[in-house]
Chain A
């Protein structure tokens, strides 16, 4: 420990329509530790919602996007370490993982602990590798075509039929009923998220997600399964309930084991009306609904922190089924001075948060 309190940096701080995991991770960590933690937020945008949510962060810093350059990113991370003494990072965004893997020698030299999946595991779970992965693991996956132009989309439509799921390469999906809707969805998704767009055969059923921790050796020591109860236009779980479904957990275990996954992940599954389970996606970090696992009795973010610090995993009994959440969106209030701090100085401290109304 570098300071008086264990200092954990957490990213993925925006709880918007496409919710990021940071807030749930932080809430879980704060509940787990008997000793108070110092939580440092790693933000990429001055309007990341957690910057203005009371009680979440002790400090927050702006960073350049991982895509800017590894050097700029590392320089900023080391500046933050100078100021706060970061003991561990829990990355909560997909785009950070390849970069942090690249920077891991420097992080290690600075005694900044972080659990990262292996490069090969990351590659194998990519959306455009899903069919190959499912074949290797013997897990069903809805038939999928990678499409980069309208001609390829038309071919996919005729091969897969309607309804059809048209998906962005990272997130966002639309269920379309005909060729015109498919073209509109393709244009929108490619413009917003880039290529390749994926066309996937529609399977009717319930969506199940499993948040899991892999030990990197093929074991899945901790996992919690849920069924989505409220799904947003983007396909995100606005509400969910924990479940005990051995068949869902079995597929999740095969995926985590088959990838030799190290660290936190989310396995997205669909159970069809005839009880067949399909693998939809593997996300390479803990999900936005992660606090549900803590509420159900298995604090996965805390376990991941212990793993990062090289400590034994906490012992939990089986989690409770029937614990549910409904996401409750509210307004996090900020003032001009808050924006000034984060934009001008790249830093915001809870201790100096504006308390007066107006410009202050």
Chain B
């Protein structure tokens, strides 16, 4: 899964240490757990999804659903308008 035109949206997100996420474009706020927070930070740094998934797999060896979990999280971010997933890959 790849992301398109998401850089500005992601860059503007305010993410606090305790998982509070604020989107200044909409005024909406969310909470993320530590794993979600790690993914969001990595996306904000512009790192590819494949690399993020690989890293999580190393951190949590033996968990088979990591790729599906990351895809699900990205779909959620897409529904919230935080990232844009290209149309052919959209849920």
Contact = CB atoms under 8 A, between A and B. Distances in A.
A321 B12 CA distance: 11
A242 B22 CA distance: 12
Contacts of B22: 322
Contacts of B61: none
A295 B12 CA distance: 21
A243 B81 contact: no
Interface of B: 12, 14, 22, 24-27, 81
Contacts of A227: 26-27
Interface string A210-246: 0000000000000000110100000000000111111
B76 to A, nearest CB: 16
B85 to A, nearest CB: 14
Contacts of A324: 27
Nearest to A247: B25
A248 to B, nearest CB: 8
A188 to B, nearest CB: 32
List the 3 shortest-distance A-B pairs measured between CB atoms, nearest first.
A321-B24, A241-B27, A245-B25
A275 interface: yes
Contacts of B26: 206, 227, 243, 245
Contact of B25 (A226, A229, A243): A243
Contacts of A226: 27
Given A321-B27, A322-B27, 11 more contacts: A206-B26, A226-B27, A227-B26, A229-B27, A243-B25, A243-B27, A244-B12, A244-B24, A245-B26, A321-B24, A322-B14
Contacts of A321: 24, 27
Nearest to B8: A246
A180 B81 CA distance: 37
A242 B24 CA distance: 8
21 contacts: A206-B26, A227-B26, A227-B27, A242-B27, A243-B24, A243-B25, A243-B26, A243-B27, A244-B12, A244-B24, A244-B25, A245-B25, A246-B25, A275-B81, A321-B24, A321-B27, A322-B14, A322-B22, A322-B24, A322-B27, A324-B27
Contacts of B14: 322
Nearest to B22: A322
- Interface-central residue, B22, B24, B25, B27, by most chain A CB under 10 Å: B27
Interface string A237-279: 0000111111000000000000000000000000000010000
A139 B68 CA distance: 40
Contacts of B24: 243-244, 321-322
Nearest to B24: A321
B83 to A, nearest CB: 13
A132 to B, nearest CB: 30
A227 B24 CA distance: 10
B20 to A, nearest CB: 11
Contacts of A243: 24-27
A253 to B, nearest CB: 16
Interface string A8-25: 000000000000000000
A244 B22 CA distance: 12
A241 B14 CA distance: 15
Contacts of A275: 81
A269 to B, nearest CB: 13
A242 B26 CA distance: 8
A206 B24 CA distance: 14
A358 B26 CA distance: 49
B55 to A, nearest CB: 30
A122 to B, nearest CB: 31
B11 to A, nearest CB: 12
A206 B14 CA distance: 21
B10 to A, nearest CB: 14
Nearest to B12: A244
